[in-house]
A and B are shown apart, each in its own frame.
Chain A
Amino acid sequence: MSATNLPLSGARLWDSLMEMAKIGGTPKGGSNRQTLTDVDAEGRALFQHWGEACGLTLSVDRLGNMVFRREGRDPTRKPVAIGSHLDTQPTGGKFDGVLGVLAGLELMRALHEAGAETEAPLLLINWTNEEGARFSPPMMGSGAAMGIFTEAEVLAKRDAAGAVFGEELKRIGWQGSADPAALQDCAAYLELHIEQGKLLEDGGFDVGVVTMALGQSWFEVVVEGAESHGGSPMAGRRDALMAAAPLISAVEEIALSTVSPAGEPGRGTVGVVEVYPSSRNVAPSRVFFSVDFRHGDPASLTKMGDLLTARAAEISVARGVTATVTPFWHSPLTPFDETLIARARASATARGYKWRDIPTGIGHDAVYMARKVPTVMVFTPCHGGISHNEAESITPEWAEAGLRVLADAAFETAGLVTP
Chain B
Amino acid sequence: MTHNLPLSGARLWDSLMEMARIGATPKGGCNRQALTDTDALGRAKLLEWGKAIGLVPTIDRLGTIGLLRPGKDPTRKPVAIGSHLDTVPTGGKFDGVYGVLAGLEILRALHEAGAETEAPILLIDWTNEEGARFFPPMAASEAAMGLADEAKLLATQEIHGPATFGGELARLGLAGTADPAAWRDIECYFETHIEQGPFLEEKGAPIGIVTHALASQAVEVTITGRDGHVGSTMASRADALAAGAALLLAGEKIALDTQGGGMASITRISVTPDARGNIPSGCRMLGSMRHQTTAGLQAMLASWQQAADRIAAERGVGIEMALGWGYPETVFDPVLLGRLEASAQRRGLASHRLPTPIGHDAIHVGRVLPAAMLFIPCHGGLSHNEAESITPEWSTAGLMVLADAVIETAGLVR
Contacts and interface: CB of A to CB of B under 8 A. Distances in A.
A360 B230 CA distance: 11
Interface string A260-295: 000001011111110101111111110000101010
Contact of B132 (A241, A280, A384): A280
B233 A197 contact: yes
A187 B246 CA distance: 50
Contacts of B255: 234
B242 A385 contact: no
B233 A198 contact: yes
Given A242-B248, A270-B242, A273-B241, A236 B381 contact: yes
A10 interface: no
B384 A279 contact: yes
B392 interface: no
6 contacts: A231-B288, A232-B381, A242-B249, A271-B280, A272-B276, A387-B229
Nearest to A248: B245
A388 B216 contact: no
Contacts of A273: 241, 269-271, 274
Contacts of B279: 269, 271
A354 B275 CA distance: 35
A362 B229 CA distance: 7
A327 interface: no
A366 to B, nearest CB: 13
Contacts of A361: 229-233
Nearest to B261: A233
A143 to B, nearest CB: 15
Given A227-B384, A272-B274, A385-B233, 14 more contacts: A196-B228, A227-B90, A235-B198, A265-B234, A267-B230, A268-B234, A269-B279, A275-B267, A280-B131, A280-B268, A281-B130, A282-B88, A361-B233, A386-B226
A251 B391 CA distance: 44
A279 B132 contact: yes
A249 B242 CA distance: 6
B151 interface: no
Given A277-B90, A282-B384, A267 B234 contact: yes
A184 to B, nearest CB: 25
A248 B277 contact: no
B274 A271 contact: yes
A218 interface: yes
A233 B231 contact: no
Contact of A271 (B218, B230, B382): B230
A236 B198 contact: yes
A214 B274 contact: no
Contacts of A284: 267
Interface residues of A, number: 65
A413 interface: no
B135 interface: yes
B315 to A, nearest CB: 10
Nearest to B381: A236
Given A230-B288, A245-B252, A292-B230, A132 B277 contact: yes
B88 to A, nearest CB: 6
B252 A242 contact: yes
Contacts of B290: 230-231
Interface in A178-225: 196-199, 202, 214, 216, 218
Contacts of A256: 234
B266 A241 contact: yes
A292 B280 contact: no
A197 B234 CA distance: 9
Contacts of A388: 227-229, 278
A281 B382 CA distance: 13
A255 interface: yes
B409 interface: no
A389 interface: yes
A110 interface: no
Given A196-B231, A229-B196, A246-B245, A281 B277 contact: no
A106 B90 CA distance: 63
A390 to B, nearest CB: 9
- Ranked nearest first, the 3 interchain pairs of A and B with the lowest CB-CB distance are A362-B231, A361-B231, A385-B236
A281 B267 CA distance: 6
Contact of B276 (A198, A218, A236): A218
Contacts of B381: 228, 232-233, 236
A385 B277 contact: no
Given A227-B384, A229-B383, A389 B227 contact: yes
B302 to A, nearest CB: 19
A298 B255 CA distance: 41
B239 A277 contact: no
B211 to A, nearest CB: 15
A169 to B, nearest CB: 23
Nearest to A216: B231
Interface in B299-330: none
Interface in B204-238: 214, 216, 218, 226-236
Q: Which of B90, B276, B357 has the most CB of A within 10 A?
A: B276
B236 A197 contact: yes
Contacts of B268: 275, 278-280
A363 interface: yes
Given A138-B277, A232-B197, A199 B269 contact: no
Contacts of A294: 230-231
Contact of B359 (A231, A290, A362): A231
B269 A252 contact: no
A241 B278 CA distance: 21
A292 B276 contact: yes
Contacts of A197: 231-233, 236
A294 B249 CA distance: 25
A245 B247 CA distance: 9
B286 interface: yes
Contact of A389 (B197, B226, B242, B264): B226
